[in-house]
Structure 1
Amino acid sequence: MPFRLSILDKCPRQPEETSQQALQNTLALARLAEQAGYYRYWIAEHHNTPALASPSPEIVLAWLAAQTKTLRLGAGGVMLQHYSPYKVAENFHLLAAVAPGRIDLGVGKAPGGLPISTRALQGQAPGQHGSFAQQLADVNRYLTQADPKLQATPLPAISPPRFLLGASQQSAELAHAVGWNFVFAAHLNGDDQQLAKVTDFWQQQTQRPTLVAVQVVIAANRAQADALAASLETWQLVLENGQRVNLASSQQAQTFAQQAASGIVSLERKYPTVIAGSGEEVFERLVQLHRRYQIDEFIIDLPITDPAHRQQALTRLAAARQAAHYVSDRLTISGATP
């Protein structure tokens, strides 16, 4: 069965660019994705990060919705630990009213920034909104209008589908428990055994589609793609306070530990799992993963931040799919019940 291709955009900003230019690059990429037949386009959330231009996906989504026609748009995802679940429900009901049938709500567990920005977002009492599981249940309650005395208005004609983004079976279990869709973050945890374990669990427990986020580097040939992929790095930091986070550099990891006021248990460079090659080679690898794990949709993360490269990568992958006559069918993704 065919699979869908979608895009995750972190709104990268080059050192020589203004934030306005970076966001214009995002708009150009979204329009290109729509023309090339990608199914959805998600905006990530990051804070206090000069190299990324989107701390508020909701605002970017409203802007993109006004300048696209058919592309599904969503957050990939809202960093729920920082916010009132009621306000999140209001924001996405409003977006769904503005762009009926085109809005997705994706929620993530990560902080989306260093401890200093987390404290600024949450006040001086991090975790004041309760556990993540409780927050997720609260968002669900407001979106499903379970409390007639407190509605997240405006009430849209089509409620936004809900997605939990996670890199573990525990996250998949939580998504299943609250009746949400799940996206396995293989771009953060590309371990084949974990991918097999989580996808098998998900398919045994639910009829909902299997969605997987992957990092992709596409160039004119495999040698060029491998050289670009080799420049990527991720550092896994484990702190004495129990936090485990992935960061873009060892310097950023040291800063995180200092701001968290916690000792470092371990700091290890991880070589991220990247699918690299020409458009045809990358597409063939996606076909293999689709067949092996019964993946219904790939959320494509393009980690190379040069805007021209990102447009070329998106175009090359779409051309490879078209050449293979591998066009997506229409899967049903529910916004409410399993």
Structure 2
Amino acid sequence: MGLKLSILDQTVIGKQETAVEAFRHTVELAKRAEELGYHRFWVSEHHDTQEVAGSSPEVLISHLLAKTERIRIGSGGVMLQHYSPYKVVENFNVLAALAPGRVDLGIGRAPGGLPRSTRALQQTQPGTPARTLGEKLVELQQHLTGSLPEEHPLYSVRATPQIETPADLFLLGASSSSAELAAELGIPYVFALFINGDEEVAGQVLRTYREQFRPSEGGLSAPHAILAASVVVAETDEEAKRLASDVKSVKIHLESGRTITVKTLEHAEEFGRQTDEKFTIEVKEAKVIHGSSDTVRDQLIELTERYGLQELVLTAPVEKFADRRRGFELLQEAFAAQKV
């Protein structure tokens, strides 16, 4: 089995662009990805930001499915902490009924926005105990597979429409806790190297996932690990280096121990104004695999061999759409040339 390449697109709103144009670019890239032979095309979820337009991946996925024919389309990912597991499964059952065998349900752990947007999304009543992501993910998997236990208070409820081929479930994360949860549930795990750029940590987390993996009923019989990485591909190494030099890693370290990754320093400062916790902001050069198509291809192959992977999800943190599209074209051409 050859290496599968997939794309995560964040519907970036470039300077002097509108959200309308950003969505047109995402649609165009999905169609081009299908033509080029990419395996999956995932879209992200972000809230209360002017930098990206994708606040509702379910709606966008529906449109992308209608504009493509074969490529798998999914979320990278739905921020389950904000939502009812039952409603998320209903949304994705509708999508899977519209395009059987083509829908991926990736679940993310980050808030995807600022503290006030999180409160606006969750609308919890004062004194209501918060459910953990793990609890919600277990219930989501049960709704997805129709396996709620009889003792569950929602046992008689069925997520409709009921379908033969539900969406494939994935958990996205960048820490051992997310890997342990994916292993416990027996579902595929995607390590976000583009968020946590420490390759040593990536290796440790992927080992944890594989060592603790437990086969799931009606699911995976063996672990399926995927790496999600940032790539900047250009005609030359020099041009790629220039484009990659603009990419920064901006992290907010909260007193509670959580680390939040955001797009810009301005976004981090606004997060700080909205949070009740003490915090520090860290800005440094992002971990981006960059170079000509041959250079990046060779680096990606080395990564897959080091971590024992058969699939990569790639995101291109480049502002101009033409550069993002051309980078994915060049990379697929380089992999195709190697097979000849």
Q: Cα deviation per residue 1:7-34 (whole Å; 9 max; x = unaligned)?
A: 0010111232221111111010000000
CA distance in 2, matches of 1:208, 1:172: 11
Structure 1 counterpart of 2:242, which letter? A
1:184 paired to 2:191? yes
Structure 1 residue aligned with 2:217: none
CA distance in 1, matches of 2:336, 2:94: 35
TM-score for the superposition, normalised by structure 2? 0.92
The equivalent position to 1:229 in structure 2, one of 231, 244, 267, is: 244
Structure 2 residue aligned with 1:267: 281
CA distance in 2, matches of 1:254, 1:36: 40
CA distance in 1, matches of 2:266, 2:74: 31
Unaligned runs of 5+ in 1: 327-338
CA distance in 2, matches of 1:306, 1:110: 26
The equivalent position to 1:243 in structure 2, one of 258, 280, 303, is: 258
CA distance in 2, matches of 1:44, 1:128: 28
CA distance in 2, matches of 1:212, 1:303: 16
Structure 2 residue aligned with 1:137: 138
Structure 2 counterpart of 1:113, which letter? G
Structure 2 counterpart of 1:290, which letter? T
CA distance in 2, matches of 1:128, 1:4: 41
Structure 1 residue aligned with 2:108: 108
Query: Where do residues 70-149 of structure 1 align in structure 2 (5 Å cutoff)?
Result: 70-123=70-123, 125=125, 130-147=131-148, 149=156
Q: Is the 8 A contact 2:144 2:159 kept in 1?
A: yes
SS of 2:67's partner is coil
Structure 1 residue aligned with 2:18: 18
Q: Is the 8 A contact 1:83 1:129 kept in 2?
A: no
Structure 1 residue aligned with 2:205: 198
1:65 paired to 2:72? no
The equivalent position to 1:315 in structure 2, one of 329, 332, 336, is: 329
Q: Cα offset for 1:296? A: 1.2
Unaligned runs of 5+ in 2: 149-154, 214-221
CA distance in 1, matches of 2:16, 2:265: 23
Q: Cα deviation per residue 1:41-84 (whole Å; 9 max; x = unaligned)?
A: 00100011122111000000000111100000000000111101
Q: Which moved more, 1:217-226 or 1:116-125?
A: 116-125
Structure 2 residue aligned with 1:214: 229
Seq. identity, %:
39
CA distance in 2, matches of 1:182, 1:125: 32
Between the two structures, name the one with larger relative contact order (CA 8 Å, sep ≥ 6): 1
Structure 1 counterpart of 2:235, which letter? A
CA distance in 1, matches of 2:298, 2:210: 23
Structure 2 residue aligned with 1:329: none
Runs (4 or more) in structure 1 with deviation over 6 Å come to: none
The equivalent position to 2:306 in structure 1, one of 292, 297, 302, is: 292
Q: Which moved more, 1:297-306 or 1:11-20?
A: 11-20
CA distance in 1, matches of 2:324, 2:115: 30
Structure 2 residue aligned with 1:336: none
Structure 1 counterpart of 2:305, which letter? R
Structure 1 residue aligned with 2:297: 283
CA distance in 1, matches of 2:296, 2:252: 30
CA distance in 2, matches of 1:125, 1:276: 47
1:45 paired to 2:45? yes
Q: Is the 8 A contact 2:183 2:210 kept in 1?
A: no
Q: Cα offset for 1:125? A: 4.9
